[in-house]
Amino acid sequence: ERRAMREAEIAQNYYKRPEGKGEPVVLNIYDLHHVRKKDGRKYNSGLPQVGLGFYHSGLEIFGREVSFGYAAEGATGVFEVPPRCASGVMPRVTYKESVVMGYIFRSRYEVDHVLRKLAARFRGDAYHLVEVNCNHFANELSLSLVGKKIPSFVNRPANVGRNVLKFFAGPAKVVEKIAQGVRKAGQVQGARAVIRTVDNGPTAPLGGHRALPARPKDEAGRSEYNF
């Protein structure tokens, strides 16, 4: 009986839309760093002083941080980690700051529906540090959820392009090293794939339950969620 009540509670929370001012959508930003041998300190691998820093980002929603990275064999590159903990699976990143992008009134289920569609588009083997990176994904997800682009400085090097970066000795030398680091991070098991296969439906709700909870219905047996 307790198990049934717990499952009913999970289902209700999974499909329930936020109240009040809504659920915050937060962009977590990380420095892509290198360690200077002289003093062992971590520095941004780009040129942040002139607006060309290198950053990783993930969008935090409903207590999880969703991002995009390299994955082999055609799998989706969309994955999730605990908020502000990307350094656990990407050793070359250091948490920098968070920016509230806005608030939503969508349920966890509706957010997962958006993620399922993006996961089908963002294949891990298509990852490219300049052309299709984590910041491109965060921008797409932010636009889908709150209608806002992420701050321009986060992905400025990619928007500028590799050819312009070659004029700067520092960024040009670390581009490939960062890309190699992202590929290695894609093999780490600490990050959970948000979407295992598109056909299996949305990601499981928080709490480790893989089965999709039954949709709450009204007295006539109708559900308000029709996708």
Active site residue 134: yes
Backbone phi and psi for residue 143, each to the nearest 5 degrees, phi listed first: -65, -40
CA angle 48, 52, 55 (to 5 degrees): 80
Q: Which among 33, 34, 134, 136 is annotated as catalytic?
A: 134
Helices assigned H by DSSP within 75-133 = 108-121
Q: Is 34 a catalytic residue?
A: no
For residue 188, the one-letter residue type is V
Out of 34, 56, 128, 209, the active site residue is: 56
In whole angstroms, what is the distance from residue 46 CA to residue 50 CA? 9
Dihedral sign from CA coordinates of 87, 91, 97, 99: negative
- Distance (Å) of CA 156 to CA 98, 101, 119, 150, 160: 17, 18, 23, 11, 6
Query: What is the distance in angstroms between the CA of the first residue and the CA of the last residue of the chain?
Result: 32
Residues annotated as part of the active site: 56, 134
